Structure 1
Amino acid sequence: MSGWKLGIIGGSGLYALDGLEDRRETEVETPWGAPSDRLVSGRIGGVELVFLPRHGRGHRLSPGEVPYRANIAALKMAGVTDILSISACGSLQEAYAPGHTVAVDQFIDRTVSRASSFFGAGLVAHVSMAEPVCARLSALAAGAMEAAGGTVHRGGTYLAMEGPQFSSRAESHLYRQWGCDVIGMTAMPEAKLAREAELPYATLAMVTDYDCWRADTEAVSVTHVLEIMAQNTALARRAILLLAARLSGTPRTPSPQGIESCLDSALITAPQLRDPVMIDKLQAIAGRALGV
């Protein structure tokens, strides 16, 4: 085995994973509740995978209702070493056309009502999000998507909005002025929580529409999104198979960005003042750093 155990979070349209050998489903309960659905585990070649549909099978959960903390904790508890997120998004740039994929490397978080940290009263931590994506995993995933036949933009800024409504035209134009490239509803707080769990994380954002900033284009609608989403989902499935094959031949070493040990410089509460109840709860995602 290569040492990789890849967690796949499937976004809108991707509710199942093809090609898994030794497939099994597991119900998980975390200190933050149950994840969006049962974990589906298996193997593709020499790589173990754990799949979780972000919105639940059948798309039961709105973006603001996704149990992000439970999802990341469940994957951490399952022993995954890295997380690849597949998500649908709107484009804020002419060059990023529907059907294209963006290997995101930056985020702007505009969500407002979601729990965005595992830490808090009793044990405070401040992780760095300067480089929110694992560059190595992102490059490997982008290469697999290109090999699958996709058009990939390597690098881009993802604006995470609260939703579930789509943007107003004024908002869409504002985000373009900010230099954002794509817009979606689910990458935050997911990426922040993955960093707190010391899990290298990457996002392949698959464009379904041009949001609503183009004056000569019909505003985004669910009907239009679903048409492009079906094409994107088939492409994503092929890319995951190719990525697993590439990882099988690439021995895993720690992330060059040091993500697996980022909590060593993030815990700020004095050891003697840390809440034992909080420490017990955090074992699921921070046991290494807490020495428990």
Structure 2
Amino acid sequence: MTKLAIIGGSGIYDIDGLEDAQWISVDTPWGAPSDQLLTGRLSGLDMVFLPRHGRGHVHSPSTVPYRANIDALKRLGVTDVVSVSAVGSFREKMAPGDFVLVDQFIDRTVHRESSFFGTGCVAHVSLAHPTCARLSAACLAAALDADITVHDGGTYLAMEGPQFSTLAESRMFRESWGADVIGMTNMPEAKLAREAELCYASVAMVTDYDSWHPDHGEVDVTRIIEILTGNAGKARAMVARLPAALAARDGEARPPCEHGCDRALEYALLTAPDKRAPEVMARLDAVAGRVL
């Protein structure tokens, strides 16, 4: 059965139109998630919403409890995750107000736990293609149906923050590294979703041109907030169309992901079964229960 989760970024703290909507608490071995999770059904599809920064925006990008968030979604039976987040753009054509469907990442974060695995149970999953093409295609269809200007494909530079880039960094990321957008929250979120065998799509909502653009100057937070408000409305319109784009209904069988996202751990665990630490195994009960 398909169960869709939306992880809402800056400016997005709920979902319109959920039936039987209820905020619930979920305990995880990795601590508390960013907030309670909103559960319900949208157009017949089981859905979960998680505000990444918490309602009222209480978590900075560096302090978001990423492992607890993904674990909580897995515990609730989520199969597909759509991440919605604000970004700056390195491309003229990716203008403020546009959406970008991310298909690659450059991870420059340095202060975050980025894996569920480690000493006691070692695992290595593939991140060659870090987002799910099937789920991204559904997001594309939903965005186009909502009359949103959307770019299919782009590389997301994940920076630590919370400060914005220097001009030198902005130019380097754009010109030398080939990044298309820059944000602070999709890593390690995408890595953890892959380890949890969840299909993951990233919808990046452009708010500004970072600091590289000669006609726009440094990032203006006041202007960003104005764009955020407009983008939040567009995101809600896109989400409302996702059940139809996924062609999924509550109770219907969900076929295996054609890209293997839901089988990412199939051959990833390297620690011999008799060498796996029991306390580590207990923490991995939801994330890796299928292969353990």
User: Which of residues 94, 102, 105 is equivalent to 1:104?
Assistant: 102
Aligned partner of 2:226 in structure 1 is 227
Aligned partner of 1:41 in structure 2 is 39
Aligned partner of 2:73 in structure 1 is 75
Aligned partner of 1:246 in structure 2 is 245
Q: TM-score, normalising length from structure 2?
A: 0.97
Q: Indicate conservation of the 8 Å contact 1:7/1:75, yes or no.
A: yes
Aligned partner of 2:195 in structure 1 is 196
Deviation of 1:249 after TM superposition, in Å, equals 4.8
Q: In the comparison of the two structures, how many residue pairs are matched?
A: 288
Q: TM-score, normalising length from structure 1?
A: 0.97
Supply the distance in 2 between the matched residues of 1:99 and 1:246 (Cα, whole angstroms): 22
Percent identity of paired positions between Structure 1 and Structure 2 = 60
Aligned partner of 2:112 in structure 1 is 114
Three-state SS of the structure 2 residue aligned to 1:141 is: helix
Aligned partner of 2:124 in structure 1 is 126
Q: Which amino acid aligns with 1:256?
A: E
Q: How does 1:29-178 map to 2 (within 5 A)?
A: 29-176=27-174, 177-178=176-177
Aligned partner of 1:260 in structure 2 is 262
Q: Indicate conservation of the 8 Å contact 1:44/1:245, yes or no.
A: no
Three-state SS of the structure 2 residue aligned to 1:73 is: helix
Aligned partner of 1:218 in structure 2 is 217
Aligned partner of 1:285 in structure 2 is 287
Q: Indicate conservation of the 8 Å contact 2:95/2:209, yes or no.
A: yes
The ranges of structure 1 where at least 4 consecutive aligned residues each deviate by more than 6 angstroms after the TM superposition are none
Supply the distance in 2 between the matched residues of 1:107 and 1:248 (Cα, whole angstroms): 28
Structure with more of its chain in helix, by fraction: 1
Q: Is the deviation greater in 269-278 or in 122-131?
A: 269-278
Task: Quote the RMSD (CA, aligned, Å).
Answer: 1.0
Q: Which amino acid aligns with 1:43?
A: R
Deviation by residue 1:185-204 (Cα, 9 ceiling, x = unmatched): 00000000000000000000
Deviation of 1:279 after TM superposition, in Å, equals 0.7
Deviation of 1:153 after TM superposition, in Å, equals 0.5
Q: Indicate conservation of the 8 Å contact 2:45/2:248, yes or no.
A: no
Could you tell me which runs of 5 or more consecutive residues in structure 1 were left unpaired when the two chains were aligned: none
Three-state SS of the structure 1 residue aligned to 2:290 is: helix
Three-state SS of the structure 1 residue aligned to 2:243 is: helix
Q: Indicate conservation of the 8 Å contact 1:45/1:248, yes or no.
A: no
Deviation of 1:221 after TM superposition, in Å, equals 2.1
Deviation of 1:248 after TM superposition, in Å, equals 4.4
Deviation by residue 1:26-65 (Cα, 9 ceiling, x = unmatched): 1111000010000100001220100000000011110001
Aligned partner of 2:12 in structure 1 is 14
Q: Indicate conservation of the 8 Å contact 1:142/1:204, yes or no.
A: no
